[in-house]
A and B are shown apart, each in its own frame.
Chain A
Amino acid sequence: MLSPERLALPDYEYLAQRHVLTYMEDAVCQLLENKEDISQYGIARFFTEYFNSVCQGTHILFREFSFIQATPHNRASFLRAFWRCFRTVGKNGDLLTMREYHCLLQLLCPDFPLELTQKAARIVLMDDAMDCLMSFSDFLFAFQIQFYYSEFLESVAAIYQDLLAGKNPNTVIVPTSSSGQHRQRPALGEASTLEGVEASLFYQCLENLCDRHKYSCPPPALVKEVLSNVQRLTFYGFLVALSKHHGINQALGALPDKGDLMHDPAMDEELERLVVRSRLHRTSRQHRAEKPGAFGFQRRDKLEAPESMPSASAPTPCPYRWEPRE
């Protein structure tokens, strides 16, 4: 629990850096918001529940976007929640548009910005034809990169643009690169039809960026691996490679491997139960609906209440605990 870094930083900064402050602030904020309800069942219990849900990653459900994106843990939790809730859509094989995925995101986070979804779709669709249909896994992995590393990617985009323009974005760059630049320039000039930038140069810049970037960024070793396979690459090519790299997915730790993406036996079991129940529910309803009567529905509503109550009052305990990696 006490890492050695802790001693290197003043307490306050340490807490802030580890986002402990964020959660403490949020907990108090939540307490403030629901003070009538919470005071009924105890403040200590509220705090226990709050931090438990933070650990489980369920604290981000239906929360506002500013909170969801506040910490890497929140982002990973959101990604995981999205995957768990809508895995069935992917399993069903539906291909959806960017807007529809956005709607699904909004079911979990009502003010999720369209811009982020658009950017993720751009990774899948390579910047054109935004109305195209995407498969669930393509979207999910692209979205993961875009959402989790969004600040990092913004910096990368700036670096890429600078490189394209022939500028060297890093003033503090490795000494060898300047000579490399000189040799590069004429080559760039004659091969200006070539797409993208040179991979090794790009990597040097990114490595530099990773060092000083205060937001989370993918492990430099993996970035190097991605970039070492190619000579040149475009920005979107880079993003696609990132999104498809399963080492990065593992490092991020929110989603299972691509092969296991549709696999969630615990939830499937739960779903079967729900389907069976809904089928019973519907048929019983239909039987009752056949009885005529002007106020039949009111009567029915009253009958309904006790019937579906148990399902709500006895929530299945969720044994599934998930430890985020950071």
Chain B
Amino acid sequence: MIPGKYRSVSGRAANNVNCGLHLVIQTSSLPEKSKVEFKLNKETPSFSGRLLQHDLERNYSSRQGDGRVISPSPRNKSSCISSTTNVTELCGLEMKTTMSSLSAFGDSSIQTPSKSRIRQGCHSAGPNVSGDHINLASSSMPSFPILQRSSEEKILYSDRLTLERQKLTVCPIIDGEEHLRLLNFQHNFITRIQNISNLQRLIFLDLYDNQIEEISGLSTLRSLRVLLLGKNRIKKISNLENLKSLDVLDLHGNQITKIENVNHLCDLRVLNLARNLLSHVDNLNGLDSLTELNLRHNQITFVRDVDNLPCLQRLFLSFNNISTFESVCCLADSSSLSDITFDGNPIAQESWYKHTILQNMMQLRQLDMKRVTEKKRLTINNVARKWDLQQHRIPNIAPNQDRKVSDSPQDPSQLHGSTISAFPEETGSLDSGLTSALQGLSVTDTHLVEVDGDTLSLYGSGALESLDRNWSVQTAGMVTTVSFTFIEFDEIVQVLPKLKIKFPNSLHLKFKETNLVMLQQFNALAQLRRVDQLTIDPQGNPVVNFTLWKYYVLFRLSHFSMQKINGTEVTQNDMIMAERLFGILAHVASSELPQYRLISILGDARKKQFRYLLETKGKKPGLVNEENSDSKRLVGENTNRATLNYTTRDFYNERLEEIKEKKKFCKMYMEDLVKEATEINMKNEALQKLWPQMFIELVRDAVIEIRNKSSYMKLCLQQITDQK
């Protein structure tokens, strides 16, 4: 019976060798070799890096998901699957090295055959002591079992020992195994690290899922390179002073509150502190080789010192409590950082999040698992610079940066290719497999248009032209949030009618760096179909500094019954307050304007619509009806505030010019008219003055003429005969 069992064990073991092969090779070869291996890994592209990180967590979760504790999040799982395939496709040969190094990080035990093998071995060796290859017996010290293996076993696995799921509460005394390089205590109940100080050649120590409360008993293990202490009860990082060659330190799932006592680990390459109780990150100096730092699922509010890590490439800060860019601004100074995650932080909800990060971290290649294309970064930077120049914020241009911008490839095919509704998948191909949401991104030098899920983001005034494109019905219908960045509000106003038609479901408007300076500018938004939410970023929009702006928005856009302004819920009281503050203005505007003015002001709005109508008429007759109902609505909607409208600066100035012209004409016309009238008046007055005198004179002349009757008669007769 025993031989049979043994046979089956060895058979499985043989299977297992396949899986653990890399590890065996790696560990049995001398440290130099493993160094080579690690180096290789260092040079692999960031893909493998992410894979590495992901798999670390994935493996834990899937292990846990084996039927216990934490269920793996579906996103992680699928991403891992797709990323693996990606890597195979992309990295080809390098795949192997990655995988092998992965297994070195504690995944050797993931394979069930290995587990069962050990379990079996230990069963036979365990309580009944009769086993022939492993012997776990009580020693002279009553509390510690003594472990002994058979010589065959020793020969077969001379350098490793796996004691997984043995219900061990203490570390057994391991006798005669000084050559051991790999020791695995996963899934036991060990509370204290003991009795392994003699294993001075140990390279790999796995104590995942135990009940260890303090790091101790490791001071003699000078060659230890991989130390896995995940899922324990450790409160403090300590007693690592002698582990100078430590390469991987995994402390995830403990209760650590601060980073300390690690500054001497100059060879440490991977540090995993995910799912701990860290409230901040600092004290990282000395970790000169650290390339990956995992800090997911902590309570971190700020990050310092990261710029002191010369090799750091990947930093995972997902699911923490970071809310401002200032609290992580040291990241901008890190020259090596290429991959970073912030998802699940308050900061990632901000409208400025993405472009602020990209703008400040030129070196970044991945943000939240999405590839940052060089182009996108350059574009955002370029747009921001152009905007700053426009706003006269930057006095002169730094020459090197300027060069960079002009160097950025101009790729017209990209732009034109994207006019067809099939957008180039600029975001990492990783996501295409993950999210069903359309990921569109089209780029040129001066502006950027991006569709990300339900958000349309426009950077730079050129981006407004994208509204002329034929957006697919699906995309257009999905967009509910439109965000404008680095665009003059006056320019946005001009495309609002288009926006209304192209993206009928847009409910949430975001403005950042759009030069909103006056309350009256909000009048322009009244022409939209519907706005539920409005977010005006204080950056580049001075209007937000006003006390009254929210009330004015609520007042002027009351017909939208808005839900949220800048993320704050609008209450009934706000609405009443708005009405109280500005109601009279609307009343005066509507009831006291002379009617001809009312008609002309309302007419302007209608005329504007009409003009747009004429423009679009040629293209699509279907739109006309919609427009008509809209303009009807405009009249009905709120006439008492429709008189409060906004004409953009340029348009207004144009109108002033027009008025000036007309005035000039009117002035001349009136001048002539009045002059004529006054002249007539003057003549009239002069006549009035002269008339009495004239009349008397006339009468006197007549009287004198007819005084002598006979001579007057003769004269008259004479005249008559002369006429004949």
Instruction: List residues of chain A with CB under 8 Å of any chain B CB.
Output: 10-12, 15, 21, 24-26, 28-30, 32-34, 37-38, 41, 46, 49-50, 52-53, 56, 58-59, 61-62, 64, 66, 81, 84-89, 92, 94-97, 99-100, 103-104, 106-107, 110-111, 267, 270-271, 274-275, 278-279, 281-282, 285-286, 289, 297-298, 301-302, 304-309, 311-312, 315-316, 318
Query: 10 A-B contacts, Cβ less than 8 Å apart?
Result: A30-B596, A34-B599, A41-B596, A58-B594, A61-B597, A84-B588, A96-B547, A100-B546, A298-B629, A301-B629
- Cβ-based interface call for B572 (8 A): yes
Contact B584 A50 (CB under 8 A): no
The chain B residue sitting closest to A40, CB to CB, is B599
Contact B576 A279 (CB under 8 A): yes
Contact B519 A315 (CB under 8 A): no
Contact pick for A306, options B579, B600, B636, CB 8 Å: B636
Contact pick for A11, options B583, B595, B666, B682, CB 8 Å: B682
The minimal Cβ–Cβ distance linking A308 to chain B, given in whole angstroms, is 6
A52-B675 in contact given A275-B576, A311-B640 (Cβ < 8 Å): no
Contact pick for A286, options B561, B632, B636, B639, CB 8 Å: B561
- Give the chain A neighbours of B635 by CB distance below 8 A: 305
Contact B670 A21 (CB under 8 A): yes
Contact A318 B647 (CB under 8 A): no
The minimal Cβ–Cβ distance linking B225 to chain A, given in whole angstroms, is 60
Contact A38 B596 (CB under 8 A): yes
Contact B639 A312 (CB under 8 A): yes
A37-B518 in contact given A88-B583, A271-B583 (Cβ < 8 Å): no
CB-defined interface of B573-592 with A at 8 Å, one 1/0 digit per residue?
Answer: 00111011111111111111
The chain A residue sitting closest to B632, CB to CB, is A305
Given contacts A11-B681, A100-B546, 16 further A-B contacts (CB under 8 A): A11-B674, A24-B670, A28-B669, A33-B600, A49-B595, A62-B643, A64-B659, A86-B584, A89-B581, A94-B548, A100-B548, A279-B576, A307-B636, A309-B639, A312-B640, A315-B591
Contact A34 B596 (CB under 8 A): yes
CA of A61 to CA of B592 in the docked complex: distance in angstroms?
A: 9
The minimal Cβ–Cβ distance linking A61 to chain B, given in whole angstroms, is 6
Contact B587 A103 (CB under 8 A): no
A94-B547 in contact given A38-B596, A302-B629 (Cβ < 8 Å): yes
A37-B596 in contact given A89-B581, A304-B637 (Cβ < 8 Å): yes
A318-B579 in contact given A30-B596, A111-B652, A285-B561 (Cβ < 8 Å): no
Q: Which 8 A-B pairs have the closest CB atoms?
A: A305-B636, A312-B639, A11-B678, A315-B591, A274-B583, A53-B594, A29-B666, A85-B585
Contact B591 A88 (CB under 8 A): no
- Give the chain B neighbours of A32 by CB distance below 8 A: 662, 665-666
- Cβ-based interface call for B520 (8 A): yes
- Give the chain A neighbours of B518 by CB distance below 8 A: 103, 106
Instruction: List residues of chain B with CB under 8 Å of any chain A CB.
Output: 518-520, 529-530, 542-543, 545-548, 558-559, 561, 572, 575-577, 579-597, 599-601, 603, 629, 632-633, 635-640, 643-644, 647, 652, 656, 659, 662-663, 665-667, 669-670, 674-675, 677-678, 681-682
- Give the chain A neighbours of B600 by CB distance below 8 A: 33-34, 37
From DSSP, what is the main secondary structure of chain A's interface residues?
helix
The chain A residue sitting closest to B681, CB to CB, is A11
Contact A267 B584 (CB under 8 A): yes
The chain B residue sitting closest to A133, CB to CB, is B547
CA of A92 to CA of B583 in the docked complex: distance in angstroms?
A: 13
The minimal Cβ–Cβ distance linking A226 to chain B, given in whole angstroms, is 33
The minimal Cβ–Cβ distance linking A228 to chain B, given in whole angstroms, is 40
The chain A residue sitting closest to B577, CB to CB, is A92
Contact B594 A305 (CB under 8 A): no
The chain A residue sitting closest to B583, CB to CB, is A274
The chain A residue sitting closest to B638, CB to CB, is A308
CA of A297 to CA of B543 in the docked complex: distance in angstroms?
A: 29
The chain B residue sitting closest to A309, CB to CB, is B636
CA of A311 to CA of B591 in the docked complex: distance in angstroms?
A: 10
Contact B584 A318 (CB under 8 A): no
A50-B548 in contact given A61-B589, A270-B584 (Cβ < 8 Å): no
The minimal Cβ–Cβ distance linking A302 to chain B, given in whole angstroms, is 7
The minimal Cβ–Cβ distance linking A28 to chain B, given in whole angstroms, is 5
The chain B residue sitting closest to A89, CB to CB, is B581
- Give the chain B neighbours of A87 by CB distance below 8 A: 584
The chain A residue sitting closest to B582, CB to CB, is A88
A289-B561 in contact given A15-B674, A110-B647 (Cβ < 8 Å): yes
CA of A286 to CA of B563 in the docked complex: distance in angstroms?
A: 10
A304-B633 in contact given A34-B600, A85-B588, A87-B584 (Cβ < 8 Å): yes
The chain A residue sitting closest to B663, CB to CB, is A29
The minimal Cβ–Cβ distance linking A115 to chain B, given in whole angstroms, is 16
CA of A52 to CA of B594 in the docked complex: distance in angstroms?
A: 9
The chain B residue sitting closest to A317, CB to CB, is B591
Contact B594 A86 (CB under 8 A): no
The chain B residue sitting closest to A275, CB to CB, is B579
Contact B546 A103 (CB under 8 A): yes
The minimal Cβ–Cβ distance linking A99 to chain B, given in whole angstroms, is 7
CA of A15 to CA of B670 in the docked complex: distance in angstroms?
A: 12
Contact B547 A100 (CB under 8 A): yes
CA of A279 to CA of B83 in the docked complex: distance in angstroms?
A: 55
Contact pick for B666, options A28, A34, A88, A307, CB 8 Å: A28
Contact B643 A89 (CB under 8 A): no
Contact pick for B593, options A15, A58, A96, A297, CB 8 Å: A58
Contact A274 B519 (CB under 8 A): no
Contact A308 B637 (CB under 8 A): yes
Contact A59 B583 (CB under 8 A): no
Contact B561 A278 (CB under 8 A): no
Contact A96 B588 (CB under 8 A): no
The chain A residue sitting closest to B655, CB to CB, is A64
A25-B592 in contact given A33-B659, A311-B639 (Cβ < 8 Å): no
The minimal Cβ–Cβ distance linking B607 to chain A, given in whole angstroms, is 10
Contact B663 A25 (CB under 8 A): yes
- Give the chain A neighbours of B670 by CB distance below 8 A: 21, 24-25, 28
- Give the chain B neighbours of A10 by CB distance below 8 A: 678
Contact pick for B633, options A37, A107, A305, CB 8 Å: A305
- Give the chain B neighbours of A29 by CB distance below 8 A: 659, 662-663, 666
CA of A69 to CA of B230 in the docked complex: distance in angstroms?
A: 78
The minimal Cβ–Cβ distance linking B115 to chain A, given in whole angstroms, is 53
Contact B596 A278 (CB under 8 A): no
The minimal Cβ–Cβ distance linking B606 to chain A, given in whole angstroms, is 11
The minimal Cβ–Cβ distance linking A43 to chain B, given in whole angstroms, is 10
A297-B529 in contact given A56-B592, A278-B558 (Cβ < 8 Å): yes
The minimal Cβ–Cβ distance linking B646 to chain A, given in whole angstroms, is 8
Contact A37 B599 (CB under 8 A): yes
CA of A96 to CA of B519 in the docked complex: distance in angstroms?
A: 14
CA of A270 to CA of B548 in the docked complex: distance in angstroms?
A: 21
The minimal Cβ–Cβ distance linking B69 to chain A, given in whole angstroms, is 40
- Give the chain A neighbours of B547 by CB distance below 8 A: 94-96, 100
Contact A96 B529 (CB under 8 A): no
CA of A315 to CA of B594 in the docked complex: distance in angstroms?
A: 11
Contact B636 A308 (CB under 8 A): yes
The chain B residue sitting closest to A286, CB to CB, is B561
CA of A10 to CA of B675 in the docked complex: distance in angstroms?
A: 11
- Give the chain B neighbours of A84 by CB distance below 8 A: 584, 588
The chain B residue sitting closest to A33, CB to CB, is B662
CA of A26 to CA of B583 in the docked complex: distance in angstroms?
A: 29
CA of A286 to CA of B577 in the docked complex: distance in angstroms?
A: 18
CA of A278 to CA of B559 in the docked complex: distance in angstroms?
A: 10
Contact A308 B589 (CB under 8 A): no
Contact B546 A99 (CB under 8 A): yes
- Give the chain A neighbours of B682 by CB distance below 8 A: 11
CA of A270 to CA of B580 in the docked complex: distance in angstroms?
A: 10
- Give the chain B neighbours of A309 by CB distance below 8 A: 636, 639
